[in-house]
Amino acid sequence: MTGEPQPLAPGSTIGILGGGQLGRMLALAAARLGFKCHIYAPAGDTPAFDVAHSHSCAGYDDERALAAFAAAVDVVTYEFENVPLETAARLARHAPLYPPAKALKVSQDRVAEKSFLGDIGLKTADWLHDDDIEAVVAQAAGEFDGKGRRGIVKTCRLGYDGKGQVRVTDVAGLREAWQALAGSALILEWEVPFRCEVSVIAARSRTGEVRCFDIAENRHENGILRSSTVPARIRPQTAAAAHGIAERLLANLDYCGVVGVELFVVDSDAGEQLVVNEFAPRVHNSGHWTEAACTVSQFEQHIRAIAGWPLGNPARHSDAVMENLLGSEIDAVPELAGQDRTMVHVYGKREARDGRKMGHFTRLTR
Residue numbers of the site for a copy of itself (CB under 8 A)? 7, 10-11, 24, 27-28, 31-36, 50-53, 292, 295-296, 304, 309-313, 315, 317-318, 330, 333-335, 337-338, 340-348, 350, 359, 364
Pick between residue 33 and residue 171 the one whose CB is nearest to a copy of itself: 33
Cβ distance to a copy of itself smaller for residue 23 or 164? 23
Q: How far is the CB of 267 from a copy of itself (least distance, A)?
A: 34
Angle between helix 133-147 and 171-180 (nearest 10): 140
Answer for the pair 150, 167: CB distance below 8 angstroms, yes or no.
yes
CB-nearer residue toward a copy of itself: 47 or 99: 47
Q: Which CB, 88 or 344, lies closer to a copy of itself?
A: 344
What is the DSSP secondary structure assignment for residue 2, as one 8-state letter?
-
- In the complex with a copy of itself, the residue whose CB is nearer, 156 or 344, is 344
CB of 335 vs a copy of itself, minimal distance in Å: 8
Q: How far is the CB of 121 from a copy of itself (least distance, A)?
A: 32
Residue 293, helix vs strand vs coil: helix
Distance CA 20, CA 32 (A): 19
DSSP assignment of 122-189 equals --B--EE--SSHHHHHHHHHHHHHHH---EEEEESSS--TTTTEEEESSHHHHHHHHHHTTTS-EEEE
Q: Are 217 and 232 in contact (CB under 8 A)?
A: yes
Closest to a copy of itself by CB, 241 vs 294, is 294
Least distance in Å: CB of 311 to a copy of itself?
8
- Rounded (10°) CA dihedral 57, 95, 280, 227: -60
Q: How far is the CB of 347 from a copy of itself (least distance, A)?
A: 7
Taking the complex as a whole, how short is the minimal distance between the CB of residue 28 and a copy of itself, in angstroms?
A: 6
